[in-house]
Amino acid sequence: MARSELTRLTGSLNGPNCDDDDCPNVYRTANGSIVVQGALSSAFQPPEGEALVEIPEAVLREAVRALGW
């Protein structure tokens, strides 16, 4: 899936040192699922085929507002 196929739900709160590609973000796919972008976390070892990412609370709050939840 290409990034252009996703709806970006966050981005306005990332500050002046973020560009469009390297900051924590939340996206929505065409089928309604959520994709998150963030720093890799090593909190525990997830199952094969999965990964843990860490994103700031403010990014999640922004995504929730964008979805109207």
pLDDT digits (tens, 9 = 90+) for 14-67: 555 666 567 889 999 999 999 999 999 999 999 999 999 999 999 999 999 999
Going from N- to C-terminal start, the domains of the chain cover 1-36
pLDDT of residue 18: 67
Using DSSP, state whether 14 is helix, strand or coil: coil
Asked if residue 47 lies in contact with residue 39, where contact means CB atoms within 8 angstroms, the answer is no
pLDDT of residue 16: 57
Using DSSP, state whether 34 is helix, strand or coil: strand
